[in-house]
Amino acid sequence: MKGLVLFTAAATVLAVAPTSSALAAPAAPGQPEAGAAGIPWGQCASPGLQRRGAECGLLSVPLDYSKPNGKKIQIAVSRIKAKVAAKDYQGIMLVNPGGPGASGLTLSVLGEFVPNGAGEAYDWIGFDPRGVGSSVPALSCDPDYFNGPRPEYIPWNQNIEKTWLNRSKGYAKDCGTAGGNLLDHMTTVDSVNDMESIRKALGAKQINFYGFSYGTYLGQVYGTLHPDKVRRMVLDGNVDVRKVWYQANLDQDVNFERNVKIWFDWLAKYDSVYHLGKTGKQVELRWYAEQNKLRAKPAGGVVGPDEWTDIFLYSGYYQSTWLELADAFAGWANDGNTDVIVAAYEDYIGPGDDNGYAVYNAVQCTDVQWPQSWNQWERDNWRTFLKAPFMTWDNAWYNAPCLYWPAKASKPVKVDGSKVKSVLFVGTTLDAATPWEGSLEARRRFPNGSLIAEVGQTTHANSLNGNACVDDAIADYLATGKLPARKNGDRPDLSCDALPQPDPTAASAQAKALRADSLTREPLYPVHH
């Protein structure tokens, strides 16, 4: 997949009285559970992790958990230890940035972004899920798959459609060759089992977990299968578990259509800066006109209409990209600046590495059986395209390898959070990748959880990113176990105003751009969640 009445941002966090178990400090880390492998710690390859004194290692886990003594694979794990006295220690905090397919190894740094030092009481555990990044083996099927210019996304004729179906079939076949037996063991449940292996290896009775985007699905499934092992969870940008994964993609298309129009309106507001149109509609027409020119002659020989769409998809993901993408759009449209648009292609699409995309398919194509009739895909995507042309066919072809995936699909876990004692959900009400309804559904399924809404924000999975109303509530929860008081009805329990949109007329606009997404966000390719 490509991979939600305003309240004051200063709203008081009302809290229910926490249970004694929620406040109890966990035991100090112990020895691995009987029969569990340990993690041989050493120096991390990442300079950023080295500067923070992190440790890194590989944990051996079963390829197939039904055969615990069979073939092993290795999960790359990092740890940044707590910085508090033993009596104040809060336990291990596993982190996942989403995807599926995103590397989480460096995400052990996340604790330093929790306000008021609340993150210092935890051991922060980053890890690359199976098949990802530094884990062994890492899945790669065709590193050149995203090299531009690619064939036109929109299947205006049967030749285009056939070309993309053949490309998708070829990619699936390449993954079968590259992945072998690994492809049969890449489901969300397999990764949940790996999280359990990490817990056991670290000698922890319970885990804390911070999941972004697809990571919220990991959290919801973990809580369903191992509710007694959950101490605290923060789940930000929540997957709607009723829609994994086919319908979720179609829903994304409609929500990204809304978000790119919000960006077009923002560009029109600053027409004095960008000169792309005085109304959102004028900017939109200009965007499609420039895309059409690239059909005839790709910029720099690489940026055709597909690449143009993929670049600007990120305006619907993160407002932190708005200034840079606006400069790229204006630089190309007004000045014919090839360098700026090719640089955007290289930065945002990242050709030459398909590990994230390969794992994305490996998980989603086997988590659940996708429709096996291309006629259904064709019908549903044309229907969606009529109201959401911006990325519908982009997203359809992104997922099309699932039509041909060479591994057996399983059935998704029926998520039931009734036995989980504590979870804090976070969502932005205009999230396109994981639409707001998913956060409401998660709250329904976890009756002991509370939900924070960042109202009017389009940025996906936006916690610990500078909104004090949101971030301070998270810090309070991580420090004390207190949740915002659960309200009656189907609604958030705490609502926070979104921060203002970027202002390109401010002298320090670029300097004020939100910190790099690479620490806490998805890789730069279209993903769900």
Q: Phi, psi at residue 496, to the nearest 5°? A: -125, 135
Say if residue 68 is exposed, middle or buried (CB neighbours under 10 Å; 0-12, 13-18, 19+).
exposed
At residue 1, the pLDDT reads: 54
At residue 350, the pLDDT reads: 84
Residue 63 is which amino acid? L
At residue 32, the pLDDT reads: 83
pLDDT exceeds 70 at position 166: yes
How far CA 171 is from CA of 13, 31, 226, 406, 520, in Å, comes to 49, 43, 35, 10, 29
Confidence of residue 351 (pLDDT cuts 50, 70, 90): confident
pLDDT: which is higher, 373 or 527: 373
Residue 359 is which amino acid? V
pLDDT digits (tens, 9 = 90+) for 476-507: 999 999 999 999 999 999 999 999 999 999 86
Mean pLDDT of 269-285: 98
pLDDT exceeds 90 at position 418: yes
CA distance 19 to 9: 27
Confidence of residue 133 (pLDDT cuts 50, 70, 90): very high
At residue 528, the pLDDT reads: 33
Structure token pair of residue 459: 């940025």
At residue 27, the pLDDT reads: 58
Instruction: Please report, to the nearest 10 degrees, the dihedral formed by the alpha carbons of residues 504, 505, 506, 511 taken in order.
Output: 30
In the DSSP assignment, the letter for residue 459 is S
Residue 209's H or E segment, with its range, is strand 207-212
CA distance 368 to 412: 6
- The reply to whether 431 belongs to the active site is yes
* Residue 91 near residue 207 (C-beta atoms within 8 A): yes
pLDDT exceeds 90 at position 518: no
At residue 10, the pLDDT reads: 23
Q: Which of 213, 315, 439, 450 is catalytic?
A: 213
At residue 20, the pLDDT reads: 30
At residue 507, the pLDDT reads: 60
CA distance 148 to 250: 25
pLDDT digits (tens, 9 = 90+) for 169-184: 999 999 999 999 999 9
Residue 445 is which amino acid? R
3-class secondary-structure state, position 70: coil
3-class secondary-structure state, position 491: coil
Candidates 100, 527, 219, 188; CA nearest to 367 is: 188
pLDDT exceeds 50 at position 123: yes
Confidence of residue 30 (pLDDT cuts 50, 70, 90): confident
pLDDT exceeds 90 at position 121: yes
Confidence of residue 25 (pLDDT cuts 50, 70, 90): low
At residue 390, the pLDDT reads: 98
In the DSSP assignment, the letter for residue 60 is E
Mean pLDDT of 95-113: 98
3-class secondary-structure state, position 122: strand
Q: Phi, psi at residue 387, to the nearest 5°? A: -110, -10
CA distance 38 to 44: 17
Q: Which of 108, 367, 380, 460 is catalytic?
A: 460
pLDDT: which is higher, 96 or 524: 96
What count of other Cβ atoms lies within 10 Å of the Cβ of residue 485? Answer: 13
pLDDT: which is higher, 311 or 30: 311
Of the listed ranges 35-44, 294-303, 338-347, 445-454, the least confidently predicted one is 35-44
CA triple 308-310-315, angle to 5 deg: 100
CA distance 415 to 410: 15
Q: Phi, psi at residue 281, to the nearest 5°? A: -65, -40
Candidates 451, 482, 464; CA nearest to 111 is: 464
At residue 37, the pLDDT reads: 73
Alpha-carbon radius of gyration of the chain: 22
pLDDT exceeds 90 at position 523: no
At residue 26, the pLDDT reads: 63
At residue 521, the pLDDT reads: 36
Q: Which of 174, 240, 253, 431 is catalytic?
A: 431
pLDDT exceeds 70 at position 22: no
pLDDT exceeds 70 at position 326: yes
CA distance 406 to 268: 47
Averaged pLDDT score across all residues of the chain: 91
At residue 526, the pLDDT reads: 34
CA distance 92 to 206: 8
Structure token pair of residue 24: 């109890």
pLDDT digits (tens, 9 = 90+) for 446-481: 999 999 999 999 999 999 999 999 999 999 999 999
3-class secondary-structure state, position 416: coil
Confidence of residue 11 (pLDDT cuts 50, 70, 90): very low
CA triple 247-167-328, angle to 5 deg: 75
Residue 364 is which amino acid? Q
At residue 396, the pLDDT reads: 98
In the DSSP assignment, the letter for residue 303 is B
At residue 91, the pLDDT reads: 98
- The reply to whether 213 belongs to the active site is yes
3-class secondary-structure state, position 62: strand
Mean pLDDT of 270-276: 98
Instruction: Please report, to the nearest 10 degrees, the dihedral formed by the alpha carbons of residues 138, 142, 148, 154 taken in order.
Output: -100
Mean pLDDT of 227-238: 98
Strand pairing of 72-80 and 55-62?
antiparallel
pLDDT exceeds 60 at position 78: yes
Mark residue 59 as left, alpha or beta (left: phi above 0; alpha: psi -120 to 50; beta: remaining): beta
CA distance 231 to 15: 17
